[in-house]
Structure 1
Amino acid sequence: MIRSPRQLHILDKDLDRLSAAEQAGSQSMRPLARVGLAVLFVAVVVVIAVAALPQATTGQVTVLAGVALAAYLALAIGANDVSNSLAPAVGARAIGIGTGLALVATAEIAGAVLAGRKVSATLSLGIVDPRQMLAGGSAAPVMLAALLAAAIWVNIATWAGAPVSTTHSVVGGIAGAGMAAFGATAVNWPGIAMIAGGWIVSPLASGALAAGLLALIRQKIDDAPERDRAARRWLSGMIGTMAALAAGILLGGHLGQQTAVTLGAMAGAGGAATLAARRHMARRFASAGEVRAKSRDLFGLPLVLVAVLMGFAHGANDSSNVTAPLWLILEASGEQGSAFAPGWIFLLAGGGLALGALLFGRRLVVVVGSRITRLNPVRAFCVSLATGTVVLAASWQGLPVSTTHVAVGGIFGVGFFREWDDARRHRRYKQLPVEETHRRTLVRRAHVRRILLAWAITLPASAALAALFSAAMQ
C-alpha cells in the first residue's frame, strides 16, 4: 500500500518524537551510569584486596572496609578537587573539558604514585599519636570514622557546588575521631597548628604570586615596544622555572636523589622547557597575524601544560588524604610489612582521584573556572602557575595544604589585582556612575562569601561527624 504525503509527514513527526524520547532517556541515564561506574570501581578494589591480603590477616573485615572507604573518598576528592587543576584552563577556553579531564586524571595518578609519600607521612604521624592508637587497638575504628566522615562531607559539598578543602575534611576527621576515642590530649595540637598555618599562608601566597605574575606580564610583555621578543624571553622563562621546580621536588624532595643529581635534573628540565617554549612561540608568531591576537594565543599550550603539572602536584599532595588513614588501618591489622605505606595504596588513591575527576568533576570546574572572575588565557596561566608553584613547594616540605584554597586564592588574587589596576588606570576620570562601578567589580562577592563559608565550616563539620562515627564504633 502506498502511503499519502500526509501519512508520510505524520510518520516523520512520530519518528522525530521517538528519537527525541530516546535522546532524553539517554541523557537521564548518564548520572546513573556514572554512579554505577563509581560503585564498580569500589567493588573491584575490594575484590582485588580480598585476593591480595593474606587469609590470616587480623581484622580482615576491618581492612576491607577501610579499603572500600578509601576508594570512595578518593572518588569524592577527585570529583571536588579537579577544579583546582583544570578550572583556569577551561575557564579561559584553552582546552575542552573532556580532553582536559583525561590529561589531568593521568597526571593525578602519576603524582600520587611518584610523589605522594612525604605528605602522607605527615598526616599519618602528625595529628594523633599513632603509637597510642596502635597500642590501644583503636587505630582502625578511628581511621574508618575519619574516612567515612570526610567522604560524606566532601560528597555533600560537591553536590552543593562548593569547592571545599578535602585536606580540611580529612584532618578534621582524624582529629575528631581521635578526640572521641582517646581524649583531647592525644591530639598533636602543635602539629595541627603548623598545618593550619599552611592553610592560611598558602592561599595568600598563591594570590600574591598570581597577581605579581599578571603585573609582570602586563609590564614586561603587554606594554613592551617589541612584544614578540619580550614574550619569548619572559614567558619561556616562567615555564622553564616551573619545570625546574617540578624536577627538583620530584627527585630531591620525594625520590631522595643526591643534591648534584637533583640540581642537574633541574637545570636540564628548566633548559629543555625554556627551549621548547621559545620554539613554540616562534611558530605561533610566524603563523599568527595581529599582534594582540598573537600575544593572547601564545598562552594556550603553556596553560594546558601548567594545568597538567598542577594535576601532578594535586595527586602528590591530596592523595595523602586517602593513603594516610588507610596505612594506619593496615598497620593495626598486622598487614603492613614495609617501613611505610605499600605502593599499591598510592595507586589506589591516584586511580580513585582520576576516576572521580572524569565521572563527576565537570560541575565544579565550571564554578571555579567561570563564576568567580572572568579568566582569559593570560590570567588563567598566572593562576595555574602560582597554584602549581605553591602546592609543589608545600609537597616538598611534606605540608598537607589545601589545593582548593591555593587555587581559589590565586583566582582571587588575579581578580582583585585587575580591580585595583582598573581603578588606577581610570583615576584621572570623574567619579563613575554606580552602575558602571558595579560593572567594573571583577570578583563576584557572592561566590567569594559562599566559598569562604564552606571553608570555615569544613573542619568542624567533618570533625563532628567523625567523632560521632568513632563513638559508635567503640
Structure 2
Amino acid sequence: MIFVLLFIAAGFLAYSNGANDNFKGVATLFGSGTTNYKKAINWATITTFSGSVAAIFLASTLVKNFSGKGLVPDTLIQSPEFAISIALGAALTVFMATKIGMPISTTHSLVGALFGSGVVAVGSAFNFAKLGNTFLMPLIVSPLMAAIVSLIVYIIFKRLRIAMGVTKETSAYIGEEKVMIAKPLHTESYDAAVETKQKTLLISKEQEFANRYEGNFVGINAQKVLDTAHYLSAGVVSFARGLNDTPKIVGLLIVINSLDIKWGMIAVAIAMAVGGLLNAKKVGEMMSKKITPMNSGQGFTANLVTGILVTTASVHGLPVSTTHVSVGSIFGIGTVTKKANIKVVSNILLSWLLTLPIAALYSATVYWLLLTFK
C-alpha cells in the first residue's frame, strides 16, 4: 500500500510539473504572436514527451541526485515514507503556484522538499555542503547566466541581421468594417439608413502592431526562416525540459525495486503531458505576455539560449531549473529592449524565494505525519 501511495504522489508531482512547466518552452511562440495557444501547447507536449523518453538513455546522473543519495544516509533513501514526503511536498508547492499563475521551479521545490524531510529525519547528519554545491549553486547562477547570455546573443543577432540587409517592418492589420450611414434624401425608400463598408485600421489592445522581417536569407524569405527556427528552438527548450525534469521525479521511485526505471519514466512523461494539456494556461500567459512584449526574433533568441543551457546542464548532471533559465532569457531580452515589466519580474523572484521554504515545510509536515501514524 505504501508503494502505491508513493507512485500516486510521484504522479501528482509529475502532473503539477507539467501544468507549471510544459508551456514555458513555447511561451515565446505564443507571446510573439507566431502561433496561437492551442498549437503552442500541442507542440510543447510532443517535444517534452520526446525529451522524457530520451532521459531514459541520457540522464541517469540526475536520477541518482534526486533520490537523495549523498544528502542523507543510504538507509533513509530506501524509506518509502521519505520519498512520499518529498514528492508531496514538492507537488503541493508547484500545484499551488500553478493555480495562481506563478512560474516556479519544480527543481527548486524538490530541493526544498529534500531539505525539509532530510532535516526532520537525520538532523545535523544532513549533507548541507552537497546541497549547496550540487543543487543550490546551479539554481542561483543559471537565471543570471541566462539573462546575460541572451542579452549578448540578441545584440549579436541584431547586428548580423542588419549586416545581411534584413529589415524589421512594423505593420498593423487593415480590414473591412461595416458601418451604418444616413441614407440620401432623394431615395424613395422609407429606410432611415443603409449599410456600407469602409477600410478601417484595426488595432488590438493585446498586440497593437506586428513586427515582420523583410528580406531574404540564402534565397528564402527571412520571416519564414525565422518562424521555422523559432518553432525548432521552442521544441529544443521543451525537449530539454523533459530531459532534465523527468529523471528528478523518477529518482523518487527507485525505492520501488520491482518497478523498472524505464516504465517509471514513461509513467512520469504521460502525467506531465496531461498536466500541461489541462492546466497550463495561467502560467503560460504569465510567461508569454507579462514579463516583456517580444517579437519572433527576440523570442527565438531567448529560446535558443534556454535550450542550449538546459541541455548542457542535463548532460552534465547539473539540476538547473528550466523555469529560472527561461525567465532569465526572456528578461535578458526585455532588458535590451527596455520593455521588461519590473513589477512582474519582482513578483516572480519573490515566488522563487518562497518556493524552497514552503516546499520544505510541506515535506517536513508530511514526513512527520507518516511516521506518527505509521
RMSD (CA atoms): 1.9
Counterpart of 1:379, as a letter, is Q
Matched with 2:71 is 128
Q: Which has the higher strand share?
A: 2
CA–CA distance in 2 between the matches of 1:308 and 1:282? Answer: 23
Matched with 1:226 is 165
Matched with 1:154 is 94
CA–CA distance in 2 between the matches of 1:80 and 1:215? Answer: 30
Q: Secondary structure at the match of 2:102?
A: coil
Gaps of 5+ in 2: 168-215
CA deviation map 1:62-81 (0-9, x unaligned):
11111111111111000101
- What are the within-5 Å matches in structure 2 for residues 291-370 of structure 1? 295-328=222-255, 330-331=256-257, 335=258, 342-370=261-289
CA deviation map 1:270-311 (0-9, x unaligned):
xxxxxxxxxx955642xxxxxxxxx44531111111111111
Counterpart of 1:195, as a letter, is F
Q: Which has the higher helix share?
A: 1
Q: How big is the shift at 1:124?
A: 1.6
Q: Secondary structure at the match of 1:183?
A: helix
1:83–1:369 Cα contact (<8 Å) kept: no
Matched with 2:355 is 458
Deviating 4+ runs (over 3 angstroms): 225-228, 280-284, 295-298
Q: How big is the shift at 1:125?
A: 4.3
CA–CA distance in 2 between the matches of 1:104 and 1:371? Answer: 20
CA–CA distance in 2 between the matches of 1:226 and 1:90? Answer: 27
CA deviation map 1:153-210 (0-9, x unaligned):
1111001111011111111112211111121313353244331110122112211121
CA–CA distance in 1 between the matches of 2:101 and 2:239? Answer: 23
Gaps of 5+ in 1: 1-60, 229-279, 286-294, 420-441
Q: How big is the shift at 1:219?
A: 0.8
Matched with 1:203 is 143
CA–CA distance in 2 between the matches of 1:83 and 1:127? Answer: 33
Q: Secondary structure at the match of 2:118?
A: helix
Counterpart of 1:129, as a letter, is V
1:166–1:402 Cα contact (<8 Å) kept: yes
CA deviation map 1:387-418 (0-9, x unaligned):
00110010011111111000000011111122
CA–CA distance in 1 between the matches of 2:303 and 2:344? Answer: 20
CA–CA distance in 2 between the matches of 1:342 and 1:447? Answer: 39
Matched with 2:302 is 383
Matched with 2:365 is 468
CA–CA distance in 1 between the matches of 2:313 and 2:150? Answer: 17
CA–CA distance in 2 between the matches of 1:159 and 1:96? Answer: 22
Matched with 1:99 is 39
CA–CA distance in 2 between the matches of 1:72 and 1:128? Answer: 24
Aligned-residue identity in percent = 27
Matched with 1:118 is 61
CA–CA distance in 2 between the matches of 1:114 and 1:75? Answer: 19
Counterpart of 2:355, as a letter, is T
With over 3 angstroms needed to count, the CA separation of the structure-2 counterparts of 1:125 and 1:69, relative to structure 1, is closer
TM-score (norm 2): 0.81
- What are the within-5 Å matches in structure 2 for residues 182-193 of structure 1? 182-193=122-133
Q: How big is the shift at 1:375?
A: 1.1
Please say if 1:406 is aligned against 2:325: yes
Match of 1:109 among 49, 64, 89: 49
CA–CA distance in 2 between the matches of 1:189 and 1:132? Answer: 20
2:22–2:48 Cα contact (<8 Å) kept: no
CA deviation map 1:357-388 (0-9, x unaligned):
11111221111111010011000001000100
Q: Secondary structure at the match of 2:66?
A: helix
Counterpart of 1:324, as a letter, is G
CA–CA distance in 1 between the matches of 2:122 and 2:350? Answer: 30
| Deviates most, 303-312 or 101-110 | 101-110
Q: How big is the shift at 1:126?
A: 4.2
CA–CA distance in 2 between the matches of 1:390 and 1:146? Answer: 26
1:75–1:353 Cα contact (<8 Å) kept: yes
Q: How big is the shift at 1:132?
A: 2.9
Counterpart of 2:33, as a letter, is R
With over 3 angstroms needed to count, the CA separation of the structure-2 counterparts of 1:298 and 1:121, relative to structure 1, is same
CA–CA distance in 2 between the matches of 1:130 and 1:85? Answer: 36
Counterpart of 2:234, as a letter, is A
Matched with 2:181 is none
1:129–1:188 Cα contact (<8 Å) kept: no
With over 3 angstroms needed to count, the CA separation of the structure-2 counterparts of 1:282 and 1:97, relative to structure 1, is farther
CA–CA distance in 2 between the matches of 1:379 and 1:196? Answer: 29
